[in-house]
Structure 1
């Protein structure tokens, strides 16, 4: 399947909101990796927020990598929604 209009904006300062409600986080991973390269090249970047949903904290894909992206400033916020976490209400953290 092709998605020619699904890409980062050419203006790197534009803010971006990524929404992965349980599937499809891989394209967003490519986006934050691309932004990481842009940052290393000295480009100014807009804010990037990620909203990601999965069943449990153990199925939180790329958790360590997302934490690294938060630490270096590629991701500004990372919201995690868990739909099946035992003893946890269904809220976004």
Structure 2
């Protein structure tokens, strides 16, 4: 169960729409990702996964596409800033 909690903290689903399905190649259901299930059927199990998350008090996040992109860019900016600071400290110490 710890792996499931960690997975759900690190990812989210993107709202289902014809555009989002096409744009993401039906991979807008990252929480409901089952390797043997065809991507275009992932939305069909969403309600079961949500119910399981609710039963175990696990946060299930669904975002609009634009909000997901903003979150990705902010995360990349933070990672880049941490890397740059570490690199500059290393360069200054040598």
Does TM, normalized by the shorter one, top 0.5?
A: no
Which is richer in strand?
1
Q: TM-score, normalised by structure 1?
A: 0.29
Rg bigger for which structure? Answer: 2
